[in-house]
A and B are shown apart, each in its own frame.
Chain A
Amino acid sequence: MVVKKSFFKWVAAVIALMLLFNLPGGCTARIKGVFKDTLTPVQRIFIKTGQSLKEGVDAVRGFGGLLEKNSRLSEEVIYLQAQLVERENLEQENRHLQNQLDFYNRQKHTLISCQVTARTISGWWQSLRLDKGRADGVDANRAVISPDGLVGRTDEVSAFTAEVLLLSDPSCKVSARVSRTGSFGLVTGRGVNAQGYPVARMQFIHKDAPVHTGDAVVTSGLGGVFPKDVLIGYIESVGTEEAGLYQYADIIPKAVTELMDVVFVSSERENTEAEE
């Protein structure tokens, strides 16, 4: 009797699991959204605290280095050095923000600036999470860009968070062209290399196209998801596919490699502040 009871329990559990697997997309997204929206604010606090700690440790390290090198220098010199470093940091931050503003003003579509709050929990996926969602106008399947170029596209969007599929993820595909020659191709993510850097490959390049290492690859604008002429990265190596019909080029996606804390999600609305 006990065996029968536990057997039924397991059958019920398997049925529940099957139902969970087959829930409609919207329902799954809502359940996932509840988890994400609940934990993201706490996560944001964690990240901010971590950043402050890192800055503090960096500052202490800097002082330590200076003290070792200039042990004879007076406290006043150290103080002035620290002020200089602080000023340089401010200048750098200013340049960084100016770049972001210039980049924003150049765009034809309105860009929504988002903070990166977390990475994916599983290393099988190349994705990250942003702190803005439907409530801020972020939609699914929109381009995510930074001043360094294309980062990826939004995937699952909840009320207050958005999952971004990075350019290096195998399921992120972008229609692209080589900037110098105009040759078209399809960029597909290939995960990370042994050094931990994200990699992507441009496929289906015409076999006679003169493509070289160092050529810039940009979005073609075909397909409607990604805006035209956004930098994807630079070609690292070129090869010919086994059948010999096409060439392929391995790319280092610049914006993914140098990923910053702030990225922009392209929205459908036109940017009224855009520079001519």
Chain B
Amino acid sequence: MSRRFITLLLAGGAMLQTVLKPWGAFGGLEMPFLTGLVICIALHADYKRVLYAAVLAGLLHDAFCPAPLGLSIPFFIALATVINWIRDEIFGDLPATYIVLGAVAGIFETFYYAVVFSLCGLRPVPPGLLALRLVGGIIAGAVVVPLIALTVLHLRHLTLRSRRRLT
């Protein structure tokens, strides 16, 4: 995956995430497009590009919400690093891989923001809301991440094919 491809993917993902309505039934949960893209990139790119994607995803996430800039970068770096690190053990380009990773990332993301927001006093995190968002995070991650992976891999295949045709 080239840096340009990663940049375009993340910019598109961020735009899509801001256009879609949050899931009200699960405490206003957003669709995890950026998380899904970072998971997909972490499974298919070398570590330098994975880090680039994680930092860019964090910056894009914080730029489009009132949170302080840089707050999401540790989350995306941790997620991308862990997945990149264990990818040889778990990697199989199967929907099941993405479903499990999506669900786990959903839990991790909700916990990360709940802890950071509580510690910084940025948001009130009542236990009920946290429980709702955890359940929603698992469902959204398990459903959205495989779909994103499918789209990204298809796009990658198309760009590779058109590049081969040009050469």
Contact = CB atoms under 8 A, between A and B. Distances in A.
Interface of A: 17, 20-21, 23, 28, 31-32, 35-36, 39, 42-43, 46-47, 50, 118-127, 129, 155-156, 163, 165, 170-171, 191-197
A156 B66 contact: yes
13 contacts: A21-B70, A35-B63, A122-B64, A123-B29, A124-B113, A125-B123, A127-B65, A127-B66, A170-B123, A171-B66, A191-B28, A191-B129, A194-B24
B32 to A, nearest CB: 10
A122 B27 contact: no
Interface stretch (B15-23, B143-151, B156-164): B15-23
B60 interface: yes
Contacts of A124: 28, 65, 67, 113, 117, 123
B25 interface: yes
- Scoring A31, A125, A156 by chain B CB atoms within 10 A of each residue's CB, the highest score goes to A125
Contacts of B70: 17, 20-21
B14 A121 contact: yes
B42 to A, nearest CB: 17
A233 to B, nearest CB: 17
Contact of B65 (A47, A125, A171, A194): A125
Interface of B: 11, 14-15, 17-25, 27-30, 34, 59-71, 73-74, 113, 117, 123-124, 129, 133
A121 B17 contact: yes
B63 A32 contact: yes
Given A43-B18, A123-B29, A17 B63 contact: no
Contacts of B29: 123
Contacts of A127: 65-66
Contact of B62 (A32, A50, A155, A197): A32
A119 B29 CA distance: 12
A42 B19 CA distance: 11
B115 to A, nearest CB: 12
Contact of B19 (A28, A119, A155): A119
A147 to B, nearest CB: 22
A21 B68 CA distance: 7
A43 B17 CA distance: 11
A118 B68 contact: no
- Scoring A32, A170, A194 by chain B CB atoms within 10 A of each residue's CB, the highest score goes to A32
A36 B15 CA distance: 10
Nearest to B69: A28
Contacts of A165: 66
B15 A43 contact: yes
A119 B18 contact: yes
B19 A50 contact: yes
Contacts of B62: 32
Nearest to A34: B63
B65 A120 contact: yes
A125 B59 contact: no
